[in-house]
A and B are shown apart, each in its own frame.
Chain A
Amino acid sequence: MVTVSENLADAKNAELQDDLRDRPGLWKQITSFARKQPLGFAGLIVVLVFICLAVFAPWLSPFDPEASSYEHMLAPPGTTSDAGTFYLGTDDFGRDVLTRIIYGARTALFVGFTCAIVGATVGLVLGVGSAFFGGKIDLIFQRIMDIFMAFPLIIMALSIVAIFGSSIQNVIIAITIPFIPRCARVVRSSALAIREIPYIDAARANGFSNSRIIMRHMVPNVMAPFLIMLTAFVGQAILLEASLSFLGLGVQEPVPAWGLMLKNAQEYIRSEPWIAIWPGIAITLGVFGFNLFGDALRDALDPRLRSNQ
């Protein structure tokens, strides 16, 4: 769904030339962000909560995520056992749902961040490089990007995992590959606009090396679209991973993952609806947090929108 914004972002991003360097102090930034972007701030909080869940999962969760308790299969929320209380109930293998949701945050964020960071960074390098060198390189590169962009995101991801088998590595690869051209395109159009600015010419005239021009002048100037794409990718990657796992093509048992939990839960939705409710809430909330935050980030980094406020 971000394809939309991306396509339009192409035109818009040409005008994005914000500079991240001269900013007031951190605390002041946060408070002013919270005041100006209450929704974005809420998103940030949600994101931080999920990050904490993922990082501190072993200390926060009451059970081992893969430990089956066959005496307590599909127990309703609040069931108590010798080992403790299953606050959100148990799944078909008698594993604690709360624990698996907390550990599921690990899987989701691991996939989300890896795909987003790798995808966006590779996209950044390719996009800036393509814009900087221009000419034939740019042309060939654009055609290759076009080819990859011709596949809808899920079609490409699905084909990759269906063919190569489903493991967490393949899921990450499957999601990352289609991200690359999407980021590269947006970054390239921003970088192209910067290349036309006289100071790049000046830098060239001064005999600065290509790498110096790229690193010192071009990359910092495309940070805004890069960061916007990156945050958008995290949410998308989480959703895609959940979709693939739901289709049975993503993460595999016994690894705790939200989409996989939903897939199994669907079988028991008649008798034990709770196991289908919690993972759905977790996915929605997680993606929601990243989207809110990303949206606010876009507003904050896009000078045109900012001047409008």
Chain B
Amino acid sequence: MLQYVLKRLLLMIPTILGAAFIIFFILRVVPGDVCELKLGGDGGHYDPVQVEICQKNLGIDRPVYEQFGKFVVGIFTFDYGNSMDTGKPVTHEIGLRFQLSLQIAIMATLVTIIIAIPLGTISAVYQNSWIDYIVRTVSIAGIALPSFWLGILLLLFLLNFSDWMWGIRWSPPLIYKPIWEDPYHNVSQLIWPAVATGYRYSAVATRMTRSSMLEVLREDYVRTARAKGLLEKLIINRHALKNALLPVVTVIGIEFAFLMGGLVVTEQVFNLNGLGQLLVHSVTGKDYTMTQAIVMIIVLVFVFTNFMVDILYAWLDPRIRYS
């Protein structure tokens, strides 16, 4: 097992390096850099000398391999440098935004668990009944429903509903406060994007719960339990659900990493100052250091989650380890 873990761990290195390579070069393929962008504002006065000075200060004029080397070393030493745009350390810029995105991801996951596991189980137990069809339709619709559209409708509803109820138009707070500072403020801001994304997310998990339950329900030990005359409720709760949950947990794990990146669009709708919005800003603003850092963080989370899932599987299914 240890050998397998080590092997998988080593395999992560070329992946991370490759991803770093791709993002580094893709950013530099297209002409124009942060200096030209910043110093060529709406005013229309554009001074090439100033641009050169700026490029020099930021080190964009250095040879590409030198910049790349610095970046790669930075990935492994967690030194992402300063944002080329604001001049502040990247870690400082990312800090609170990461916290915000992480919290929405966690809340969306909770929404998912609350919705997906009961619905998926019911749907599987009553396979091909009307209730199954409804759950399946709703969950497929959930995957089809763009979260940004749901978000827009939610905001519209909040403004109009609050006006109708209390005569005052209410919209979610604009500024993020950590949950331990002001729980009401925090939740009233983040619950809406969590619902908008969690709804989609739960649709995926519901389907997975259902199909996983269906498989388990046909396993021999469930049949044996039935043959022994155990209560159906007991069989489902004690035996089936427990075993069916593993793939569901895996899905939730993988989706969690995905969710962090996928919040990009929802954050725009709800004006949330999260990682996704920062990525859009920095990639369009040609802030190389910042874009590289965010993408690498997302990649690291993604790769690491996949690694954990693999290890989990290998641990449960010894055949994988030796294949």
Contacts and interface: CB of A to CB of B under 8 A. Distances in A.
Contacts of B306: 7
B299 interface: yes
A3 interface: yes
A151 B264 CA distance: 14
B50 interface: no
A116 to B, nearest CB: 15
B262 A154 contact: yes
Interface in A124-174: 143-144, 146-148, 150-155, 158-160, 162-165
Nearest to A258: B146
Contacts of A243: 146, 148, 264-265
A246 interface: yes
Interface residues of B, number: 61
A155 B140 contact: no
Interface stretch (A52-60, A82-90, A96-104, A281-289): A281-289
B303 interface: yes
A205 interface: no
B283 A158 contact: yes
A163 B18 contact: no
A20 interface: no
B254 A151 contact: no
B173 interface: no
A242 B140 contact: no
Contact of A162 (B258, B284, B298): B284
B280 A247 contact: yes
A235 B29 contact: no
Interface stretch (B8-16, B55-63, B65-73): B8-16
Contacts of A5: 208
A287 B144 CA distance: 5
Given A1-B200, A308-B214, A150 B15 contact: yes
A243 B298 CA distance: 19
A154 B299 contact: no
A148 B302 CA distance: 12
Interface in B92-137: 128, 133, 136-137
A147 B148 contact: no
A177 to B, nearest CB: 10
Given A152-B257, A158-B283, A243-B265, A8 B19 contact: no
A50 to B, nearest CB: 12
8 contacts: A8-B251, A150-B303, A151-B298, A152-B262, A276-B149, A280-B146, A280-B152, A288-B140
Interface of B: 11, 14-16, 18-19, 22-23, 26-27, 29-30, 128, 133, 136-137, 140-141, 143-146, 148-149, 152-153, 156, 200-201, 203-204, 208, 211, 214, 218, 247, 250-251, 254-255, 257-258, 260-262, 264-265, 268-269, 279-280, 283-284, 291, 295, 298-299, 302-303, 306, 309
Interface of A: 1, 3-5, 7-8, 38-39, 143-144, 146-148, 150-155, 158-160, 162-165, 235, 239, 242-243, 246-247, 259, 262, 266, 269, 273, 276, 280, 283-288, 291-292, 295, 305, 308-309
Top 4 A-B pairs, shortest CB-CB distance = A147-B18, A287-B144, A152-B261, A288-B144
